[in-house]
Amino acid sequence: MKVSQTAMLSPRQLEECARLGRLLARLRQARQVKQSDAALRAGLSRNTAYRLEKGDPGLAIGQVLRYLEAISPGSTLMDLLSETEPALLALAAREKTQRVRDLSAAELKELDF
């Protein structure tokens, strides 16, 4: 009889699985690797890669590690979870929006010619 992993996990554990999937997807996008290419490199089907990125708790940890290695060779699971992977940091910096403030009266006067 097949057991549903989703039914067996607590909500907190399900959220951890979803977070791991989101981080894998962000890392893949930051490295500009297609999902199908990452799956091929990891020896997985594209459907399995999709399930990994959606945080499916029914997949083996070995599949997660192979997928991570295919996306970012040399990266560890700890780098991914702590979000210290250089590609993730670069992506976060690119996504960071900067607010533009109005010029002060003195700055406007200085620019007025």
Phi, psi of 12 (to 5 degrees): -65, -40
**For 50-78, how does the pLDDT look when each residue is reduced to its tens digit (9 = 90+)?**
999 999 998 999 999 999 999 999 999 99
Which pTM does this prediction carry?
A: 0.77
Place of tokens 């990125």: 53
Token readout for 41 is 């490199």
Of 77, 97, 95, 94, the residue nearest 19 (C-alpha)? 77
Of 19, 64, 23, nearest to 42 by C-alpha is 64
When pLDDT is cut at 50, 70 and 90, the band that residue 113 belongs to is low
Q: What is the pLDDT of residue 45?
A: 95
Q: Is the dihedral of CA 94, 95, 99, 100 positive or negative?
A: positive
> Directed axis angle between helix 46-53 and helix 35-42, to 10°?
110
* Sign, Cα dihedral of 78, 15, 35, 83: negative
Give 12-48 pLDDT, tens digit per residue: 999 999 999 999 999 999 999 999 999 999 999 999 9
Average pLDDT, the chain: 89
Domain boundaries, the chain: 5-85
Rg from Cα positions in the chain: 20
Structure tokens at 45: 């089907």
> Which pLDDT tens digit goes with each residue over 86-103?
898 888 888 887 777 787
Q: Which CATH class for the 5-85 domain? A: mainly alpha
